[in-house]
Structure 1
Amino acid sequence: MTFDLAIESATRTLPRTWRLEPFRRHATLVADMRSDRPLPLLSLASTGVVAPRTEDGGLGKQAPSEATIERYWVTQPGNLVVNPMWLIGGGVGVSAVNGAVSPDYRVYDLGPELYAPYVHHLLRSAPYRDQYRLYTRADTTFDRRVSKENFHPMPLIIPPLGVQRRIADFLDVETARIDHLRSKFTRQRTLLNERERTALPLTVAGARLGDGNTATGLAWLPAMHPSAQLVPLLRLLQLQRGADLSEDQRREGNVPVITTAGHAGWHEVALVKGPGVVIGRYGSVGNVHWVENSYWPHNTTLYVKNFNGNGPRYCYHVLRSLPYEMEQARAAVPGVNRNDLHRQKIALLPRDLQTRVVTQLDTDAAVAESTRQRIKRAEALLEERRQALITAAVTGQFDVSTASGRNVTDGVQS
């Protein structure tokens, strides 16, 4: 058995009235199956929220069979739900709803000396997350499973019941404030992405060069630059399917292998001279990758075989602007067809205007990336504060009754 090093290091100075006792002493494993009862199916998010699952479980997977559903565990408000395969990623939380969860999960009744909302915060705190990782063998799907043999004897930090209530109430308020701020950052990122998607087709059509029609509120076609020609994509560039390259065929080198998802390893031989542009053909359809040097495009991609005398970087941005969702919806097989893409109408600008458009879009992209990095840093700071606050509260590092009204999010700008 792994020693509980992470928990022990965080509990060396617990208040005198607090106890450390095994989880199994205060929790009972629930073994009540759903059978044919009409209980809603629930899922456990990495945020610790137990909620009704979507039709496919929210995981893009096939719905479970009726036989599997009958083996789901009945879950009631106040039950602790654990996903042993994803404890290190936050797969633990107290349910607030009735329903049934996957037979791969574990459900526990908590004893009378535990206040369930406090346990929710405790088992999601940094010391316990660190401890779960010590219980795992590796970070692969099955090796990261936390066994009952480790989880059940795991020590729980147990303050007096009244203190548990005060801690939980305090953390509920403070984490809600943090979540509210994080939702604002999520909204900022969404708006940023929407603005980019809206501006991109207008920009590649020359609508923002200031020499023609005003683009505000207009689709790119009536707003395109007067010097642009409405032509099939094939006039701009020619796409070619990539070539297969198995893991066994790869040889160590400095040539990037580009798949649908992007750079995915190296090879010693290049198939295409750079700079180049590659798009996803299957899977992450519409992913467009700029490759600075010579490369090997995988057969899950299409690459630009011929730029037809146009600027490669301009072609990259044009390909980013195409409506891949519509192309994929028209296809009999999920994915995009290069012949269909070749027929897609685009606004072809003269070479000098292509250069101006590239400057605009590269500048826009740099500004957007800078904004995303600021959002990412702010979100990371909020998560650090959340974890520090929870850990300090559940280990007794400060008395929450003296922290009333304290706003832990001060200094974080939304």
Structure 2
Amino acid sequence: MKSAFEAVPAGWRVTRVDRVASVHARIGWKALTAAEYQEDGYAFLATPNIKSPEIDFKNVNYISEFRYEESPELKLAEGDVLLAKDGSTLGIANVVRSVPRPATINGSIAILRPRGIEPRFLRYVLASSIIQGLINSVKDGMGVPHLFQWDIKRLPVPLPPPTEQRRIANFLDAESAHIDHLVGLQNSVRQKLDERDRASRDTLAERLASRVGELPFRRFVTRIEQGASPQCEAVPRQGINEWGVLKLSAVKGGYFDSAENKRLPDEVEPVKAYEVRAGDLLVTRANTPNLVGDVAVATGDVSRLLLPDLIYRVRLAAGIRADYIVQIALSSRVRIQIESAARGTSQSMVKLRGEDIKEWPIPRATLTEQDNFVREVARGAEATGRLRAVIDRQLGLLSERRQALITAAVTGQIDVSTASGRGIEG
């Protein structure tokens, strides 16, 4: 790759990743499958575990000692820099500041083991706009986003003297912590808005149920079916002329996102009986305990999108609206029942049976009462929606500020001994 760091301060030089760090990654899975995951054992990190400011060693899968020992070069050590090299999270980087338990990485992460460079400085170089731009240029040229070790090794690295590397890393640590604090405050406000929406929905649902009474959901259901999950490509379908299989993330928080799908290979014949139709009521069959049983109505142009085996399609009898069921299913009275009924062998994934769904308590409202209920819920969410838009803008500005500070610091555009990036609170 041509160096993107055209000008650096006097005393700095530009080198490459492979000259300041060794690069290690899992070559295939050595026949390792998810069926081998254990309740406890050796932490097996995936890209979600490195997305937060601190690496998450708790919400992980676990593998056996044998699997851990068979790849000694992938045993995590303090000072390792982790880089996501596959999928939509391609380019995310983090540094191992401590190893609270023996851990290794899955095939979507590369380990950069620094030699002669401050690990935190290398992590910030990888997070700079310049390196992220280079990574995106590689990603954009591929069907399945992936960084090969050859690409990683050739990434350019500006290299100031060691004392300056530490000074820059300390500066960015402090500024990032400050931005993280502001992000936390914004997310706290968002959480309160979510709680307000839930409380409003719960109040409306309780009032309706006490007035009209309840029936088990089975009285309103004609059929519950699930699809299939053939081997798909790790990219969404391109245009409505291609077939795609919905991902679990297509159903989230009462909303449907048709873009959350995986492309069905041309050689795989689609099972058209599983094609999603606009207006279908969708319920997630398997997920984490707080997300299993999530609901949404399929909307928009959903032609050539297929139902996976982890999402149910619930057929409704006449006289019941799908969007009404969505709002009732999101209420606490149903969510509590879902979480108590969900079954699984671990806390990371539980499943819901069709029989569990049929037991949901549903107020026996008329169509007019259903319409009024949905309208009232929407009216209550309208004001909080405007506030969420403001929060999203603030979070976007904070993200841009972080990126600008990182890029300016690792390229020597600012003197970190005197600079401060904190003129952002307003």
TM-score (normalizing by structure 1): 0.70
Q: How many Å separate the matches in 1 of 2:94 and 2:241?
A: 47
Counterpart position of 2:312? 301
Letter of the structure 2 residue corresponding to residue 320 of structure 1: L
List per-residue Cα deviations over 1:97-142 (Å, max 9, x = no partner).
245533854342421xx333322212221211222344556262xx
Letter of the structure 2 residue corresponding to residue 345 of structure 1: P
User: Do the aligned partners of 1:21 and 1:158 also contact (CA within 8 Å) in 2?
Assistant: yes
Q: How many Å separate the matches in 2 of 1:319 and 1:79?
A: 44
SS of equivalent to 1:314: helix
SS of equivalent to 2:50: coil
User: Do the aligned partners of 1:206 and 1:353 also contact (CA within 8 Å) in 2?
Assistant: no
Change (3 A) 1:47 1:253: closer
Q: How many Å separate the matches in 2 of 1:255 and 1:109?
A: 44
List per-residue Cα deviations over 1:357-411 (Å, max 9, x = no partner).
222111123334333333222222211111111101111222223314x414233
Counterpart position of 1:110? 115
SS of equivalent to 2:362: strand
Deviation at residue 93 of structure 1 after TM alignment: 3.3
Counterpart position of 1:325? 339
Letter of the structure 1 residue corresponding to residue 339 of structure 2: E
Counterpart position of 2:129? 126
User: Do the aligned partners of 1:258 and 1:278 also contact (CA within 8 Å) in 2?
Assistant: no
Letter of the structure 2 residue corresponding to residue 172 of structure 1: D
Aligned residues: 364
Counterpart position of 1:24? 18
Deviation at residue 187 of structure 1 after TM alignment: 2.4
For 1:264-303, what aligned pairs fall within 5 Å after superposition?
275=279, 277-282=281-286, 285-291=292-298, 298=307, 300-303=311-314
Deviation at residue 42 of structure 1 after TM alignment: 7.4
Counterpart position of 2:424? 409
Change (3 A) 1:242 1:389: same
1:389 aligns with 2:372: no
SS of equivalent to 1:145: coil
For 1:135-146, what aligned pairs fall within 5 Å after superposition?
135=138, 138=142, 140=144, 144-146=146-148
Letter of the structure 1 residue corresponding to residue 177 of structure 2: A
List per-residue Cα deviations over 1:310-332 (Å, max 9, x = no partner).
5554344223332322333499x
Q: How many Å separate the matches in 2 of 1:326 and 1:24?
A: 51
User: Do the aligned partners of 1:278 and 1:304 also contact (CA within 8 Å) in 2?
Assistant: no
Q: Larger C-alpha radius of gyration, 1 or 2?
A: 1
User: Do the aligned partners of 2:276 and 2:298 also contact (CA within 8 Å) in 1?
Assistant: no
Counterpart position of 1:53? 57
Counterpart position of 1:77? 78
Letter of the structure 2 residue corresponding to residue 362 of structure 1: A
Q: How many Å separate the matches in 1 of 2:160 and 2:128?
A: 15
Instruction: Pick the aligned partner of 2:393 from 372, 377, 393.
Output: 377
User: Do the aligned partners of 2:42 and 2:63 also contact (CA within 8 Å) in 1?
Assistant: no
User: Do the aligned partners of 1:240 and 1:338 also contact (CA within 8 Å) in 2?
Assistant: no
Counterpart position of 1:229? 213
List per-residue Cα deviations over 1:272-291 (Å, max 9, x = no partner).
99755333345574232224
Q: How many Å separate the matches in 2 of 1:363 and 1:158?
A: 55
Deviation at residue 171 of structure 1 after TM alignment: 1.3
Deviation at residue 161 of structure 1 after TM alignment: 3.0
Counterpart position of 1:180? 181
Q: How many Å separate the matches in 2 of 1:317 and 1:119?
A: 47
Counterpart position of 1:356? 372
Change (3 A) 1:48 1:138: farther
Q: How many Å separate the matches in 2 of 1:230 and 1:394?
A: 62
Change (3 A) 1:120 1:315: closer
User: Do the aligned partners of 2:12 and 2:159 also contact (CA within 8 Å) in 1?
Assistant: yes
Change (3 A) 1:83 1:67: farther
User: Do the aligned partners of 1:167 and 1:400 also contact (CA within 8 Å) in 2?
Assistant: yes
Change (3 A) 1:302 1:80: closer
Change (3 A) 1:342 1:270: closer
Change (3 A) 1:230 1:337: same
TM-score (normalizing by structure 2): 0.68
Letter of the structure 2 residue corresponding to residue 325 of structure 1: E
Change (3 A) 1:378 1:108: same
User: Do the aligned partners of 2:226 and 2:313 also contact (CA within 8 Å) in 1?
Assistant: no
Deviation at residue 153 of structure 1 after TM alignment: 4.2
Letter of the structure 1 residue corresponding to residue 12 of structure 2: W
SS of equivalent to 2:207: coil
Letter of the structure 1 residue corresponding to residue 281 of structure 2: V
1:96 aligns with 2:97: yes
- Greater mean alpha carbon deviation, residues 157-166 or residues 259-268: 259-268
Q: How many Å separate the matches in 1 of 2:298 and 2:9?
A: 58
Q: How many Å separate the matches in 1 of 2:276 and 2:95?
A: 54
Q: Percent identity?
A: 23
Letter of the structure 1 residue corresponding to residue 330 of structure 2: R
Letter of the structure 1 residue corresponding to residue 159 of structure 2: I
Deviation at residue 292 of structure 1 after TM alignment: 5.8
Change (3 A) 1:355 1:152: closer
Q: How many Å separate the matches in 2 of 1:154 and 1:255?
A: 36
Change (3 A) 1:398 1:139: farther
User: Do the aligned partners of 1:82 and 1:92 also contact (CA within 8 Å) in 2?
Assistant: yes
CA RMSD of aligned residues (A): 4.4
